[in-house]
Structure 1
Amino acid sequence: MDQLDALAEPAADLLRRVDDALHAHGAPTEHRLWPLLRRLGALTLPSVEAIIALRPAPLAAAGASLRQVGREYVEARDAIGTPQDWEGAGAQAFERYRAGLADHLAGGGASLAGHLRATADYTAALDAWIASSRTALASVLAASLASAEAVTLAGAVADDELVVASAAAEIAARVLAVVAEIVEDGEALHAEWTDRLAGIGYREPADEPLPPPDSGVLRTRY
């Protein structure tokens, strides 16, 4: 359990009051809350619940599994040996396909092993984004719970509709501003990795011209 988990229940109660007040009374016309609502398309409680639902542990486990499979591809590549007792056109053709398969398995960033490593790196980047997002959200929720606006919404100061609406709008704007930053960081992360995680496929080696008749001899050693 982290700080966000500890704050989830009291924050949910506060944000429910915030959303109910916004439903009942709206928000001041020129308030900075409106662009945030248009940007996110959701009120505070569902927006916060979506971030709370993000968990880094499954990604860390997936990343470890991907790296292990990548190592197995490297081992498979190393197991494809070059024939030592085979010469001629057949041996040359086999070597082209052997080298192509070895490169496809673990020949660089575009290989299967390279793609798995890149995907594992992406899960690590997502893990870091989730961790920083949860920390940022916990900070703004803690501040909101201790704010004067939270006291107003609890009914301890005023029951005036305008005061309640303004208090709700202030809390919602603070929280949704952080959520919007989290979303923007996630979108930037996705854009950064899109090309690096593009699909890969096996490409057969190009056929080479047939050798002249006098060199088309198959030789073996024994």
Structure 2
Amino acid sequence: MDRLDHLLEVADALLSRVDAVLSAVGAPAGHDVWAQLRRVRLLPGDAARAVGALRPAAVAEAVPELRAQARACADTADALPLAADWTGAAAEAYEAARRHTAERLNVGPHSLSRRMSATADFADALADWMTRTRRDLAVSLAGALTSAPALTLTAGPAATSGVGGAGSAGETGSGRGLPGPDEARAAADIAALVLATIADSYDRAEDLLDDTTHLKAAQPV
């Protein structure tokens, strides 16, 4: 477990409360959280848990094997024997097939070895992205947990101006009345912080994927 795993455990109740408040009463009009919600399209609790599910080590483990396969393709291409001791139509056909196979294995941007190397580079970059995303979210969660909005949300009903007391028609499943404006703003502040961090990471991921368009191209036959 890294720092984010621990912080997600500690912050679970707070994130759940933030999600509940936003779901119950929304956020103040004009608050920055609306823009962040449109960017991420998830409530902060769900978004944070999705980042928590990222496992960069598992991706990084695939890199050595990909690079080994790239080297194997190159070595195989170099090892294909020339038709040195025979001539004629059969020799010419063999040589054409040998060159074609060598090119597919190790010549040009679409050869197997180049694509394997590019895939390894992408896996390396993806693992780095996951690591940075987890680290950035951990910093944001640590800040959220020690913030004034967190105190507002965790101090209990006495710290809010919610309408409807215990036993009223406005009571929620948690036993609290509907969140008041102080709680709504506190939830929005925390949500904006968490979601902005994740949204920025999403933007970096899109840039990373844009750099791999060549891997989607079909390999020439």
The TM-score normalised by the length of structure 2 is 0.86
* Corresponding residue for residue 217 of structure 1: none
- Distance in 2 (alpha carbons) for counterparts of 1:53 and 1:27: 27
Moved over 3 A (4+): none
C-alpha deviation, 1:196, in angstroms: 4.3
Alignment of 1:7-18 (within 5 A): 7-18=7-18
C-alpha deviation, 1:90, in angstroms: 3.3
- Distance in 1 (alpha carbons) for counterparts of 2:191 and 2:21: 10
Q: Is the 8 A contact 1:118 1:197 kept in 2?
A: no
Q: What whole-Å deviation, never above 9, does each CA across 1:125-164 have from its counterpart, x for those lacking one?
A: 1011111111110000000000011011012672211111
What amino acid sits opposite 1:49 in the alignment? R
Count residues in correspondence: 202
* Corresponding residue for residue 65 of structure 1: 65
C-alpha deviation, 1:100, in angstroms: 1.1
- Distance in 2 (alpha carbons) for counterparts of 1:24 and 1:83: 77
* Corresponding residue for residue 192 of structure 2: 173
Q: Which moved more, 1:73-82 or 1:165-174?
A: 73-82
Q: Which moved more, 1:161-170 or 1:100-109?
A: 100-109
* Corresponding residue for residue 158 of structure 1: 159
C-alpha deviation, 1:197, in angstroms: 4.5
RMSD: 1.5
Q: Which moved more, 1:6-15 or 1:131-140?
A: 6-15
Consecutive unaligned residues in structure 2, runs of 5 or more:
162-179
* Corresponding residue for residue 37 of structure 2: 37
Q: What whole-Å deviation, never above 9, does each CA across 1:148-198 have from its counterpart, x for those lacking one?
A: 110110126722111111111100011111111011111111011112452
C-alpha deviation, 1:108, in angstroms: 3.5
What amino acid sits opposite 2:117 in the alignment? R
Consecutive unaligned residues in structure 1, runs of 5 or more:
203-222
C-alpha deviation, 1:12, in angstroms: 1.5
C-alpha deviation, 1:15, in angstroms: 0.6
* Corresponding residue for residue 164 of structure 2: none
Q: Is the 8 A contact 1:18 1:168 kept in 2?
A: yes
Kindly indicate whether residue 138 of structure 2 is the aligned counterpart of residue 138 of structure 1. Answer: yes
- Distance in 1 (alpha carbons) for counterparts of 2:56 and 2:26: 36
The TM-score normalised by the length of structure 1 is 0.86
Kindly indicate whether residue 143 of structure 2 is the aligned counterpart of residue 149 of structure 1. Answer: no
Structure with more contact order per residue of length (Cα contacts < 8 Å, sep ≥ 6): 1
What's the % identity of the aligned pairs? 41
C-alpha deviation, 1:3, in angstroms: 1.2
- Distance in 2 (alpha carbons) for counterparts of 1:197 and 1:124: 18
Structure index of larger Rg: 1
